[in-house]
Amino acid sequence: MRNILVFPDGTEQDFMYPPNRDIEVGETLVVHMLDDSMQIMRVTHIEKKEREIRYYLALAS
């Protein structure tokens, strides 16, 4: 199963899903970006498809 973070600007990044817990809508995540920066994001929507799960994010306030 492919897990994808979808950022507010529409860019996507694959990520390793934590095996010991579920991610829910409204949850805050600390995202380690490909450029080595860290962003605090909030899950706004989860879309489950046959071979992937998309986690739509917004900047946490």
Contacts 24+ apart (CB under 8 A), 27-30: 28/60, 29/57
Taking the domains of the chain in order of start, what are their residue ranges?
Answer: 2-59
Residues 6+ apart with CB under 8 A from 35: none
pTM of the model: 0.84
Nearest to 44 by CA among 11, 7, 9, 2: 7
Tens-level pLDDT at each residue, the chain (61 residues): 899 999 999 999 998 877 788 899 999 999 887 789 898 999 999 999 999 999 999 999 7
What tokens were used for 38? 């860290």
